[in-house]
Structure 1
Amino acid sequence: MNQEKRIQILQRLRDNNPKPTTELNYSTPFELLIAVLLSAQATDVSVNKATALLYPVANTPAAILALGVDGVKEYIKTIGLYNSKAENVIKTCRILLEQHQGEVPENREALEALPGVGRKTANVVLNTAFGWPTIAVDTHIFRVCNRTRFAPGKNVDEVEARLLKVVPAEFRLDCHHWLILHGRYTCVARKPRCGSCIIEDLCEFKEKVYPEN
């Protein structure tokens, strides 16, 4: 895909959604961090249902730490992998209190040192909470970038590197949200909705799917 076409795609996505944001509910960087940590292999809807119960009771590292692992499990047991996630949440809260004065560090290395926090989670927190022009690549973005040929790669790291290379600075802050929402609602995994896609004519996917007349 040539750069002119990429820019047209980004312009259309921006025109369609000028101020995109995460679908995870949060009000502080800490709430976002915990929500993203919980969202691995789970839907944002399921995470929001759990945090809607958890956060009114405990939404700081100290308050969640006071609940303990079993206490956290009670709030997140509807989410996949809740046992290991509860342990990671507690460990993360302890580290935040002991090493970062209870605050979420605006630092990639410090974020990735937290239990259960990998590069993707760190990218989301840096982008959404702190306004860094990072691009987190999840399964939706990986699929969209490969299917459309916007930024193909063999793994998420390759796709991220390609995106950072080809996405102009003016689009970089919001690129993650545009692509994830496009993958979640239009360029879906099994049967992409090409007939209602705003970038269909620019996409280089050869097996486009259209509704039957």
Structure 2
Amino acid sequence: MSGEFFFAGSELRAGLLAAHPGIAHGFGTRDGASPEGTLTTVKQIHSTRVVDAATILRQEVIEGDALVTNRPGLAVAVKTADCFPILLADPVAHVVAAIHAGWRGTAAGIVTSTIERIRELYGSEPRDILAAIGPGIEACCFEVGPEVAREFAHWDRRLYCTTTKEMVDLAAANAHQLADSGVPRNNIAHAGLCTADRTDLFFSFRKERDRAGRMVSWIALRPDTTTGQ
């Protein structure tokens, strides 16, 4: 994986995405304002359901865990507090996606489902996709019980259980899905910031339980000034 992340005010950004002027994005932090009125979201249910954001009406509550769009100016967003926010962009097919990947969604393949969906809807090719994995609970802090560990048993145990304890590496699991789907490893960036370890910067449900807020991570295609969209 490659790419650097940097802070821009109260948001974290991925250099991989920021290098493309047609893409706007941000990963939320503990101090970040939540511009929810300008964002399209879903009711997150730890599933593999991928929603086309253009089909959501303002009055509707739609369930799912990933949003995709090719509409310029339409920002899609997910909320997290230990789960991983993953932002995708295809600057060739002009498509973006926001993914909420907790352990259930990761084990079930939410990243794979999202890539399949944008390929089906918009003809996106995985080789053109840029992927940024934002802050989430890293393997250093994500000890799980045997029932959760079993959900990852079909993967290489050395990648996901890093000690004699069951320490699942969700970031690595999602990066593995991206690569297996055809996204080049040089197109995958990982923030490497643990929400449970850095509660000075991020919310962590594992550390704070019901006191934890939620961070909002979003992505959008900038309006095309050459076409007036």
TM range (shorter): under 0.3
Greater strand fraction, Structure 1 or Structure 2: 2
Q: Which has the larger radius of gyration?
A: 1
Q: Which has the higher contact order (CA 8 A, sep 6+)?
A: 2
Length-normalised TM-score, structure 1: 0.27
Greater helix fraction, Structure 1 or Structure 2: 1
